[in-house]
């Protein structure tokens, strides 16, 4: 009656530690960088040099966006529980949902389920990956990511379709649009694509927490907000 419990990711015994079929000390440590390791986790194999270049470019783009809501969340959490910085990173990740980082997933799913501009515009009222409040008429990250894609031979049908969508809607292809398209070019499962932003932002949040420990802002943000928010209620 029991169903099997099985994971193909890793195993270890006294002498060996093996991840995705590769010996951790012998074939991974010193051979793969952190982005390559993420690629190995998501695809089961190490990237070649071109894949490594494109994939690292994509995730590096998502690491840092300054004092975002998620950075503020991590800092405010660290204020209350400095002994548990992992919980501050975790709290910061909780908000990477439909509004912000989640749109990479939306793009990757859309491009893997549709193959024409018409089919997409018919179904989507709001096309994910298009438009940006600040970066227009072009998003410099997109320009750079597609440049790297062309250099490495990964600028293909998904990138073309994404840029065509931008032209027809007269909206900028933003960084999540480019990253969603390149995820498809690399053959990544769309279910893993939100994860690119999640892992990248975890890196950035550690940086914010370190800065918070040296040059805090969370308490001041809290006190100012509390004061203003309740001012109208006080006698």
Give the span between the Cα atoms of 102 and 66, in whole angstroms. Answer: 18
Binding residue count for a copy of itself, defined by CB under 8 A: 122
Cβ within 8 Å of residue 179, ≥6 positions away: 58, 61, 62, 104, 107, 145, 193, 196, 197
Coarse DSSP helix, strand, coil percentages of the chain, rounded to the nearest 5 percent: 60, 5, 35
Nearest to 100 by CA among 141, 75, 73, 128: 128
Figure out which of the listed residues 48, 51, 73, 104 binds a copy of itself, where binding follows CB under 8 A. Answer: 73
CB nearer to a copy of itself: pick between 121 and 198: 198
Q: Is 60 in the site for a copy of itself (CB under 8 A)?
A: yes
* Residues between 191 and 220 with contacts to a copy of itself, criterion CB under 8 A: 191-192, 194-196, 198-200, 202-204, 206-211, 213, 215, 217-218, 220
| One residue of 70, 104, 159, 176 binding a copy of itself per CB under 8 A | 70
Q: Are 155 and 147 in contact (CB under 8 A)?
A: no
| Contact string (CB under 8 A) for a copy of itself, positions 104-133, x = contact | ------------------------------
Run of H or E residues at 207: helix 190-214
CA distance 173 to 142: 7
> Rule CB under 8 A: is residue 134 a binding residue for a copy of itself?
yes
Report the residue from 48, 98, 116, 157 that binds a copy of itself according to the rule CB under 8 A: 98
φ, ψ at 46 (rounded to 5°): -75, 145
Among 46, 50, 95, 163, binds a copy of itself (CB under 8 A): 95
Strand partners, 19: 10, 22
Question: Among 11, 113, 126, 187, which residue interacts with a copy of itself (rule: CB under 8 A)?
Answer: 11
Closest CB to a copy of itself among 80 and 156? 80
**Residue among 34 and 115 whose Cβ is closer to a copy of itself:** 34
């Amino acid at each position: 009656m029991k169903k099997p419990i099985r994971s193909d990711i890793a195993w270890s015994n006294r002498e060996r530690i093996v991840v995705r079929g590769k010996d951790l000390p012998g074939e991974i440590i010193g051979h793969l960088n952190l982005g390559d390791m993420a690629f190995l986790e998501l695809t089961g194999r190490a990237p070649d040099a071109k894949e490594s270049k494109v994939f690292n470019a994509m995730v590096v783009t998502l690491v840092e966006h300054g004092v975002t809501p998620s950075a503020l969340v991590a800092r405010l959490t660290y204020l209350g529980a400095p002994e548990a910085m992992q919980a501050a990173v975790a709290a910061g990740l909780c908000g990477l949902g439909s509004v912000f980082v989640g749109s990479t997933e939306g793009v990757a799913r859309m491009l893997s389920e549709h193959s024409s501009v018409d089919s997409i515009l018919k179904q989507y009222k709001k096309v994910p990956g298009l438009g940006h409040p600040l970066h227009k008429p072009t998003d410099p990250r997109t320009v750079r990511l597609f440049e790297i894609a062309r250099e490495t031979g990964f600028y293909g049908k998904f990138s073309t379709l994404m840029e065509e969508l931008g032209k027809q809607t007269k909206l900028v292809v933003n960084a999540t649009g480019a990253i969603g398209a390149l995820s498809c070019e690399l053959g990544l499962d769309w279910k893993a694509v939100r994860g690119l932003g999640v892992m990248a932002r975890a890196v950035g949040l550690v940086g914010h927490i370190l800065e918070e420990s040296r040059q805090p802002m969370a308490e001041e943000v809290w006190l100012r907000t509390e004061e203003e928010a309740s001012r109208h209620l006080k006698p």
